[in-house]
Amino acid sequence: MYYPTVTREPYQYNSLKSNDGLRDHEGRITELLLSNKLSGDLNLPNIDPENDRFMLCGNDAMLKDLAKILDDKGFSKANSRSQGHYVIEQAFIEK
């Protein structure tokens, strides 16, 4: 599913198809997950470690916030020794 959202400026999704059902969204992914707005907008059940997996990519602060949200909801981070519910893209982490 495609769910366009922005955090800093007004946004209007301009679709080539007039009946695709998409609409404008605003808000940080962290807030959308905490409030269950993302799930509700997509007509999906709230996120659940039993059924959902995530790949996270972005700036360090956002990744830290998302990992905490997922951990608090019972998800676990995957690593080279164990499977988990989410992975973090390591390509952009500064060393």
How do residues 36-49 score in pLDDT, each as one tens digit? 999 998 899 999 99
> For the whole model, what pTM was predicted?
0.77
CA angle 71, 44, 29 (to 5 degrees): 50
**Phi, psi at residue 26, to the nearest 5°?**
-135, 145
**The two structure tokens encoding residue 44:** 């999906």
pLDDT value of residue 8: 78
pLDDT value of residue 27: 86
Proportion of the chain above pLDDT 70, given as a percent: 79
- Between residues 83 and 7, which one has the greater pLDDT? 83
Of 37, 34, 36, 41, the C-alpha closest to 66 is 34
In the chain, the amino acid numbered 67 is: A
Q: What is the spatial distance between Cα 19 and Cα 82, in angstroms, rounded to a whole number?
A: 43
